[in-house]
Amino acid sequence: MQIILLVETRASCESDYRYIKSAIDYFYVERSFKLSKIYAKNKSELIRSDKKIRALIGKYPGNSVVIVCADYDRGNDPLNKEIIAYCVKNSYELVWMNLDVEEVFLGKQIPDKKKNKESLRFLTIKNSVLSSIETLDIIDPMTKHPASNLLRVLDKYLQRKT
């Protein structure tokens, strides 16, 4: 199986991917799947990644699961509805980070120019943070923040460590 993570960050930064991959490595048994990533520079680019997704699926001989990881930002953001529709239309999984990935993993929002540095710092403390994090396993992450349904989605495809 291939899991394709579509994350809302630039390839030069990789911040969102660092957080999510750290959670996968921490919570789930050793990988027996291929983890692929697609970087969307911003929220609107998440729904314009069809060619990149098809290319990754075409290169992999087995089953592929696409997981779109989006920052919820604010509830009235019209892009939220577009992202939901895009995922439903294409049978993609949708992971929300409410309000954003940094708030979910670090408990605070980070200015754009500091996101790369903070995600690198997170890598040095990830085990202590992940051992006590409760924000990744929320049924409806739009009802509170910080909150995400990341583990709920991954549980469908991966086996958690005991």
- Say if 118 falls within a structural domain: no
Query: For position 62, which CATH number holds?
Result: 3.40.50
The domain in which residue 79 lies consists of 2-110+133-154
- Say if 68 falls within a structural domain: yes
- Say if 122 falls within a structural domain: no
pLDDT tens, position by position, for the chain (162 residues)? 999 999 999 888 999 999 999 999 999 998 789 999 999 999 999 999 999 999 999 999 999 999 999 999 877 889 999 999 999 999 999 999 999 999 999 999 999 999 999 999 999 999 999 999 999 999 999 998 899 999 999 999 999 998
- Say if 91 falls within a structural domain: yes
CA dihedral 20, 80, 8, 35 (to 10 degrees): 50
- Say if 116 falls within a structural domain: no
d(CA 46, CA 66): 12
- Say if 7 falls within a structural domain: yes
- Say if 149 falls within a structural domain: yes
Token pair for residue 1? 């199986």
pLDDT at residue number 130? 96
- Tell me which residue has tokens 């697609």: 38
Domain count, the chain: 1
d(CA 97, CA 138): 10
- Say if 25 falls within a structural domain: yes
pLDDT at residue number 17? 97
